[in-house]
């Protein structure tokens, strides 16, 4: 299941904070701040999708993520590779290195990462 852009933005805040009340979430947004009802709606949808949950604290709810940022990111990248690059990581890497403005140093760093991964296998 995927998150909308607005939900992803809110998840980024929750991942960073780990736990947060509604007022903390709203305060983490840049101006203009979203309405409380907007955040409440997003949180309900995210809870229905099983991305967040809460614990009741008197009359307030403390929200927390149910999925780790890395797990969500990995799933999104794998979906991107599957849907746009014929499930080929090599095609993705080729596109990424050709279409982005990576410096020579960044390309060498990527090569080192790949070389280290090969050594581990």
Instruction: Say if residues 73 and 65 touch (Cβ distance below 8 Å).
Output: no
Among the ranges given (17-21, 95-99, 115-119), the one the predictor scored with the smallest mean pLDDT? 95-99
Domains of the chain: 5-65 (1.10.10.10), 85-120 (no CATH)
> How far is residue 105 CA from its own chain's centroid?
26
Q: What is the mean pLDDT of residues 69-97?
A: 90
pTM here?
A: 0.77
pLDDT in tens, 20-43: 999 999 999 999 999 999 999 999
Please give the helix or strand (H or E) that residue 30 lies within, else none.
none
Query: What pLDDT, on the 0 to 100 scale, is given for residue 105?
Result: 92
Average pLDDT along the chain: 93
């Amino acid at each position: 299941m995927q998150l909308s852009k607005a939900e992803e933005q809110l998840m980024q805040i929750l991942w960073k904070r780990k736990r947060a009340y509604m007022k903390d979430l709203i305060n983490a947004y840049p101006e203009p701040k979203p309405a409380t009802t907007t955040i409440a709606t997003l949180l309900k949808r995210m809870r229905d999708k099983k991305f967040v949950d809460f614990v009741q604290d008197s009359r307030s709810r403390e929200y927390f993520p149910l999925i780790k940022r890395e797990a969500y990111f990995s799933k999104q990248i794998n979906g991107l590779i599957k849907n746009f690059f014929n499930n080929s990581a090599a095609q993705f890497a080729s596109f990424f290195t050709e279409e982005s403005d990576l410096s020579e140093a960044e390309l060498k760093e990527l090569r080192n990462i790949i070389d280290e991964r090969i050594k581990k296998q």
